[in-house]
């Protein structure tokens, strides 16, 4: 499945524009990380696009989220690597023990930092190009800023890439999709 096919599938199952934008932003960060790690960037981007495909269908029920998404993707004939990544990404329900795989760690971080960076951009008038690693470090220390963001999930990739480099990769990834995300 390529990016366009993944977006078509996402649009069939997700009505919320904000959730779709979250998936696109997460996918962009995952793609940037895959390129950094020498992984399959197209595959990781598809996983990012589809990671929350069931969120609306399960009504935000974290006891079903990810499991039903993986089942849906299996019915669609997607490769098991995609299905398992979607199934495992629900950190509340993760049934397989601690995250150790590079893809799982990257998805945890991308899932959390994507929204955090968009919040940083909104503070700067919607300009993602004005967000820097220094901005991210400063805002991460402000617990009241984007209070719902699980900062420990952002740190999941710390053993794979230095935090400041991760922020740079994530920002550049969103800059590359800024028009699609409605950012400047």
Mean pLDDT calculated for residue range 42-67 = 97
pLDDT value of position 107: 97
Q: How many residues does the chain have?
A: 184
pLDDT value of position 98: 80
125-163 pLDDT per residue, tens: 999 999 999 999 999 999 999 999 999 999 999 999 999
The CA distances from residue 102 to 3, 34, 71, 123, 133, in Å, are 21, 9, 22, 31, 22
Concatenated DSSP letters of 80-124: HHHHHHHHHT-TTT--SSS--SHHHHHHHHHHHHHHHHHHHHHHT
pLDDT value of position 95: 52
Mean pLDDT calculated for residue range 38-47 = 98
CB count, 10 Å around CB of 110? Answer: 32
pLDDT value of position 126: 95
The average confidence (pLDDT) of the chain is: 96
pLDDT at 171 over 70: yes
Q: Which CATH number fits domain 3-181: 3.20.20, 1.10.760, 1.10.3470, 1.10.3210?
A: 1.10.3210
Burial (CB count <10 Å: 0-12, 13-18, 19+), residue 125? exposed
The string over 11-22, giving b where at least 16 C-beta atoms fall within 10 Å of a residue's C-beta and e elsewhere, is eebbeeeebbbb
Nearest to 51, CA basis, from 101, 121, 123, 112:
112
Q: What are the extents of the domains in the chain?
A: 3-181
* C-alpha to C-alpha distance for 10 and 8, rounded to whole angstroms: 5
pLDDT at 16 over 80: yes
pLDDT value of position 96: 53
Mean pLDDT calculated for residue range 49-54 = 98
pLDDT at 122 over 60: yes
Question: pLDDT category, 94, cuts 50, 70, 90?
Answer: confident
Q: Is the pTM of this model over 0.85?
A: yes
Mean pLDDT calculated for residue range 87-92 = 92
């Amino acid at each position: 499945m390529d990016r366009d096919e993944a977006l078509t599938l996402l649009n069939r199952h997700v009505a919320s524009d904000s959730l779709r934008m979250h998936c696109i932003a997460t996918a962009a960060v995952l793609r940037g990380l895959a390129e950094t790690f020498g992984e399959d960037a197209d595959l990781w981007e598809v996983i990012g696009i589809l990671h929350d495909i069931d969120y609306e269908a399960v009504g935000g029920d974290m006891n079903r989220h990810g499991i039903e998404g993986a089942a849906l993707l299996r019915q669609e004939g997607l490769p098991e690597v995609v299905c398992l990544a979607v199934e495992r990404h629900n950190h509340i329900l993760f049934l397989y023990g601690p995250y150790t795989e590079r893809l799982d760690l990257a998805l945890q971080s991308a899932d959390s930092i994507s929204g955090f960076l968009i919040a940083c951009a909104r503070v700067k008038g919607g300009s993602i190009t004005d967000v820097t690693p220094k901005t991210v470090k400063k805002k991460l220390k402000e617990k009241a800023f984007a209070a719902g963001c699980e900062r420990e999930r952002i740190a999941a990739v710390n053993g794979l890439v230095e935090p400041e480099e991760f922020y740079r990769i994530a920002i550049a990834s969103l800059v590359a999709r800024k028009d699609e995300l409605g950012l400047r």
